[in-house]
Structure 1
Amino acid sequence: MKNSRLLRSVLPGIIVLSFILSIAIFPHESIESARVGMNICTNILIPSLLPFLIGANLLINLKIIDIMGVFLEKPSRILFNVPGKSSLIFVISILSGYPIGSKLTSNLRQNNEISKIEAQRLASFCSTSGPLFMVGSVGIGMFNNSKIGYFILLCHYIGALSVGMLFRFYNTSSDINHCNNNMSILTRLKKIIFYEKEEKGFYSIFGDSVRNGINTILVVCGFVIVFSVLFKILTLLKFINFISSILFVLLRPFDISIEIIQAFISGLFEITIGCNNVSLVSGPSLIFKISLCTFIISFSGISILAQCCNFLSHSDINIPIYIFSKFLHGINSFLFCYILYPIFKNSLDIQTFNNSIYYDIYVDKIFNNMPFNNNLFFAFILIVYILSYANDRYSKSSKKSLF
């Protein structure tokens, strides 16, 4: 026990000291990489994230999310076993991207508006990338195809929803009976609108929202700059190459090139660099590269994980479980790319499977021989199945709680 505590207290200091010494050894490269991180902040993050941060804080403080959450309470409980306002957090996360979903989830928990278990469930799926990055940066900028960007976006969001549905069963034994569900919608709306915790005017709320948003964006930019320098130093020290070589030996039976492994490892640190490196590798099939990029975006990389964990750490949300949910998000999104490929292959114009085992077994033998091989029908049946299964499990859990 004492050794583990000593390790936890000493190891971070050793890592930070090594980082500072590395900056002193590679000053020019460190300054250039910091400049790159600064450019990302000023040209991308501040213009795109700051308005959403201010707007999201306003929605929370003006109780707009609480009001809309009243109407979304039942579907949110059935699908994700979280309060109705959580659906709005998910929408804001989709529109804005990392790390706003985690920030808002932490705010709800800090204000004691949701329970610890509900916050854990909410954090599992309300941490997503934004459409501008997936469609604009990855789809158009890296693959020169906006349709690929939309395909990545679809698999990414379906993967997030699937994780949320899985986490609805997380620690159900601690769930309590939600008395608000017995109230009418009108009664709950009156309670939200006319119950004021603090007497604050709009301009005071607006000022607090701007201040909160600026503080958050400064923290995010600090993480981006630090991890930009860290990744550059690890590259110069050949650490990325070392890890890639180990994985190359382990994955040799799967005929995966070391170039794609190096690109993937870089994405585990920073998603923009990783996705760009994966898109530039020649050799692997295009759908494999798309799936890897989708995993990288969904897992979010160490840089974004550190940002999200920083916000979540201000509450009692379990960080290791959150990281596991992001890994699960990456796996699910990766699999959905392969599962949904036969539906969208014609619109994507991806012809890379003609001689592959995947194409022969899944696309040719299974998918094309389905009795109802219609894209819309297949998607409709899938959605109905998921909703009916979730509703069935919710009904069973409700009956158990009554007895």
Structure 2
Amino acid sequence: MSKRMTASDPVRLVKKTMLLGTGLLALWIGGMALAMPGEALQASLRGLAVWWEVLFPALFPFFVLSELLLGFGVVHLTGTLLDPLMRPLFRIPGVGGFVVAMGFASGYPVGARLTSRLMEQRLVNREEGERLVAMTTSSDPIFLIGAVCIGFFGRADIAPVMAAAHYGGAMLLGLALRGRGRTAEAGKPEASGASSPVLPEGGGRMRRALAAMHRARLADGRPFGVMLQDALESSIRLMIVVGGLVVFFSVALELLLHSGILSALRSGLGAVLGAIGLVPGLAEAVVQGSFEVTLGSRAAAEAAKTAPLIDQVAAGAFVLSWAGLSVHAQVAGLMSRTSWRYLPFLRARLLHAAFAVGLIYLLWPLLGPHGG
């Protein structure tokens, strides 16, 4: 007797295919590393330099600070204050406002780290956490303005339109995803009840927010010295994981470039871009940016000889919003202890990239260099 296919069977098939494909890709990269040890070593050193010189000083203080703020109950304070704003707009508890602010200020993958902590503390459920991670996986302003706009493009005048498209796209993504998970959350009052602490009636919102912060601090109970030590230890472990992923993807990209596989992909994508009226030279930025943000942003800036500035900036916005598989792996590693799922995050990154590109062309006459 034949078995009837259930709704979960296609999902299982996709997961098995992804696992098999990932395993085969890892095996192939390992073989290429043995065949080209010199290139693998140089790529590892470049990835290590990026981690030590850029990512470690940029992310480590924010990791430590976020752990301390969680311990002091600041999340509960902001959650009480921002709940009337976050719930109607994004269907996310007020504590998500803290993650949005920290994520936008410090860049990927800080938003994923904070969301994982909120999910572990049952302050947000799975659907809320997935929307929050999708919305807060963004570049920090220092990298977007200093490294990309000024460093790579050499033009500070594109920073307004680039920032508006990137962060505006993230906000549009949050609005677009607010309806997802409605069925799953129906009939689960405990999900929203876990998201917001029970507050005393009476008094202003600030008073209730301070009371929620005080209760959270008493519930934590750790002295400041212990809290600081725990924050340093957990942040060091996270930075080692981030560094390992950066080095791995640096090696993987270098080996793929030398093997010629990416050359074929670049040629095919260039033909597609040419067919829709764009410059084929932008394919280099998209291909490299699919793996790593820094390389893709630099490639977008280097397309100046062949592409108009607006198309270059659009390619850079696509790369920043897609975030690269290196950041995807960092987010997946940080969220691995929760019930978070990767496939919704993958769709969200594509949607964010599409929003950012559309906003570049829409806002260029207003915020672009010299008004267009």
Instruction: Report the Cα offset of residue 252 of structure 1.
Output: 3.8
TM-score (norm 1): 0.81
Match of 1:118 in 2: 128
Match of 2:367 in 1: 344
Match of 1:225 in 2: 247
Deviations 1:143-195 (A, max 9, x none): 11122133212210110011111112112242555565895534564344135
- Aligned partners of 2:329, 2:254: CA distance in 1, in Å? 17
Structure 2 unaligned segments of length 5 or more: list them: 1-8
1:266–1:88 Cα change, 3 Å: same
Superposed, which structure 2 residues align to 1:156-305 within 5 Å? 156-173=166-183, 174-175=185-186, 176=188, 178=192, 180=198, 183-184=201-202, 185=205, 186-187=207-208, 189-194=210-215, 196-281=218-303, 282-305=305-328
Moved more, 249-258 or 115-124: 249-258
The letter of the residue matching 1:337 is I
TM-score (norm 2): 0.87
1:82 equivalent among 76, 86, 92: 92
Residues 1:42 and 2:83 aligned together: no
Residues 1:148 and 2:158 aligned together: yes
2:142 equivalent among 117, 132, 149: 132
C-alpha contact 1:134 1:150 (8 A) present in aligned 2: no
C-alpha contact 1:287 1:350 (8 A) present in aligned 2: no
Match of 2:115 in 1: 105
C-alpha contact 2:78 2:209 (8 A) present in aligned 1: no
1:170 aligned counterpart, secondary structure: coil
Q: RMSD over aligned Cα, in angstroms? A: 2.2
The percent of aligned pairs where both chains have the same amino acid is 23
C-alpha contact 1:126 1:160 (8 A) present in aligned 2: yes
Instruction: Report the Cα offset of residue 201 of structure 1.
Output: 0.6
- Aligned partners of 1:327, 1:151: CA distance in 2, in Å? 20
Bigger-Rg structure (1/2)? 1
C-alpha contact 1:286 1:350 (8 A) present in aligned 2: no
- Aligned partners of 2:355, 2:124: CA distance in 1, in Å? 27
- Aligned partners of 1:182, 1:194: CA distance in 2, in Å? 11
Residues 1:72 and 2:86 aligned together: no
Structure 1 unaligned segments of length 5 or more: list them: 352-403
1:349 aligned counterpart, secondary structure: helix
- Aligned partners of 2:86, 2:258: CA distance in 1, in Å? 47
Match of 1:61 in 2: 71
The count of aligned residue pairs is 349
